[in-house]
């Protein structure tokens, strides 16, 4: 078969709606590709494995030390058996979230490719948003996750401020206090048995991220040899702030910042992982349909591995 020279934008193979209906796996592959590495929940939580039954059982805040110290063994004696404690028993139930796209005979005949692409974009954005909201439901308002009011001391005393008050804001102090509280977290009844968490991630809303970009007190460290890293110059947050990877989400609630040890604070377990079904034709209604879905459960089993900074903005 002779090669075809491409000398203009109109040359070469062209994608048509008719071609998509005749190749039922193109659209689902494209949707899965659009959703790859886009879920905040997968970046923040660890993979908890599959749950064929749809229920994940876990124990919240299980101590990482034995209840008592080790014993000195005498000659001919025996080592003391370890005494352990489990955290609070809990369960997480999987939820089926999904959307379908549909191609009508009119869309195929009129080659309305934009309408097909629009539906795929809407499926991607909606699933990302809704799984972000599911993650928030497990974190925001969780009574087991500690909070720190922006502008107060580590013991909660003092007058709170908002990050939007650029004359008095002490954003770095708030972040360091939150990191200290997570790092020093211990079993409530066993003060010497700390968890050893190392916070490495910070999550915030896009609006609060722009507040940081525009805050002179936050930017004043970027001077002299660091002037080229000034946020007002770069227009974006650095990859790390105080050794924390920064994640920005439009759906994350404004005014609240999460600092945590990623992959430790909780898990997500799939009953059925993300999938998109091949296009199937229904000749009675003259349509082709593909469904994209994910059946998963979210569990927060180490809530003290995170802390919420509240009162960041009005």
Q: What is the mean pLDDT of residues 63-91?
A: 86
**Per-residue pLDDT for 2 more than 70?**
no
* Average pLDDT score over the chain: 89
Q: What is the mean pLDDT of residues 236-261?
A: 92
Contacts of 307 (CB under 8 A, 6+ apart): 145, 146, 147, 148, 178, 181, 182, 199, 258, 259, 260
The topology (CATH level 3) of 17-63+86-310 is phage-related protein like fold (3.90.1690)
**Closest to 271 in 3D by CA, of 39, 36, 88, 51:** 51
Cα separation, 268 vs 46, in Å, equals 6
Q: What is the mean pLDDT of residues 184-201?
A: 86
Q: What percent of the chain has pLDDT over 70?
A: 92
Q: Tokens for 154?
A: 């580590």
Angle at 99 (CA atoms; ends 93, 102), nearest 5 degrees = 155
Show me where the domains of the chain are located: 17-63+86-310
Contacts of 227 (CB under 8 A, 6+ apart): 233
pLDDT for 80 equals 85
**Closest to 253 in 3D by CA, of 117, 93, 141, 170:** 141
**Closest to 43 in 3D by CA, of 155, 201, 272, 208:** 201
- At 160, the pLDDT band (50, 70, 90 cuts) reads confident
**Per-residue pLDDT for 193 more than 90?**
no
DSSP code at position 167: T
Contact criterion met (CB below 8 Å) for 60 and 301: yes
**Per-residue pLDDT for 7 more than 60?**
no
Question: What's the pLDDT tens digit per position in 213-224?
Answer: 888 888 777 765
DSSP code at position 110: T
- At 158, the pLDDT band (50, 70, 90 cuts) reads confident
**Per-residue pLDDT for 4 more than 70?**
no
Cα separation, 246 vs 229, in Å, equals 16
Cα–chain center distance at 197: 18
pLDDT for 223 equals 65
Least confident of 45-59, 144-158, 289-303: 144-158
Q: What is the mean pLDDT of residues 65-77?
A: 85
Question: Percentages helix, strand, coil for the chain, rounded to the nearest 5?
Answer: 30, 25, 45
pLDDT for 1 equals 54
- At 10, the pLDDT band (50, 70, 90 cuts) reads low
Contact criterion met (CB below 8 Å) for 67 and 83: yes
Question: What's the pLDDT tens digit per position in 30-50?
Answer: 999 999 999 999 999 999 999
- At 64, the pLDDT band (50, 70, 90 cuts) reads confident
47 strand-pairing partners? 268
pLDDT for 72 equals 87
Residue with the two structure tokens 């007002």: 232
Angle at 208 (CA atoms; ends 207, 210), nearest 5 degrees = 65
Q: Of residues 186 and 199, which shows the higher confidence score? A: 199
Cα–chain center distance at 97: 16
Q: Tokens for 187?
A: 């079993």
**Three-state SS across 267-303?**
EEEEEEEEEECCCEEECCCCEEEEEEEEEEEEECCCH
Cα–chain center distance at 170: 26
**Per-residue pLDDT for 157 more than 90?**
no
Least confident of 137-141, 230-234, 251-255: 230-234
Q: Tokens for 305?
A: 């591995």
Q: What is the mean pLDDT of residues 244-260?
A: 95
Q: Tokens for 287?
A: 């349509």
Three-class secondary structure of residue 226 per DSSP: helix
pTM confidence score: 0.87
Beta strands (DSSP E) in the chain are 46-50, 55-60, 88-93, 95-104, 147-149, 186-187, 190-194, 201-205, 240-241, 244-249, 257-260, 267-276, 280-282, 287-299, 306-310
């Amino acid at each position: 078969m002779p090669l075809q020279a491409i000398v203009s934008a109109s040359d070469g193979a062209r994608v048509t709606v008719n071609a998509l209906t005749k190749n039922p796996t193109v659209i689902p592959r494209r949707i899965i590709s659009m959703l790859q590495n886009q879920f905040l929940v997968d970046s923040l939580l660890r993979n908890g494995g599959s749950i064929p039954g749809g229920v994940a059982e876990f124990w919240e805040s299980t101590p990482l030390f034995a209840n008592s110290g080790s014993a000195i063994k005498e000659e001919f004696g025996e080592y003391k058996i370890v005494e352990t404690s489990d955290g609070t028993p809990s369960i997480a139930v999987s939820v089926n979230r999904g959307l379908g796209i549909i191609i009508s005979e009119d869309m195929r005949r009129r080659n309305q490719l934009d309408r097909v692409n629009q539906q795929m974009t809407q499926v991607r954005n909606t699933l990302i948003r809704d799984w972000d909201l599911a993650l928030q439901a497990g974190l925001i308002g969780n009574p087991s996750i500690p909070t720190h009011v922006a502008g107060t001391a580590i013991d909660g005393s003092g007058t709170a401020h908002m990050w939007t008050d650029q004359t008095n804001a002490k954003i770095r102090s708030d972040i360091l206090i939150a990191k200290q509280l997570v790092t020093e977290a211990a079993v409530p009844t066993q003060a010497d048995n700390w968890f050893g968490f190392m916070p490495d991630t910070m999550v915030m809303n896009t609006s609060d991220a722009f507040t940081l970009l525009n805050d002179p007190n936050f930017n004043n460290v970027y001077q002299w040899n660091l002037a080229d890293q000034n946020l007002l110059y770069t227009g974006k947050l650095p990859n790390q702030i105080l050794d924390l990877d920064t994640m920005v989400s439009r759906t994350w609630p404004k005014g609240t910042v999460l600092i945590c040890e990623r992959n430790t604070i909780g898990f997500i377990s799939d009953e059925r992982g993300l999938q998109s079904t091949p296009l199937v034709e229904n000749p009675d209604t003259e349509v082709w349909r593909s469904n994209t879905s994910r059946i998963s459960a979210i569990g927060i089993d180490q809530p003290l591995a995170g802390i919420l900074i509240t009162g960041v903005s009005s």
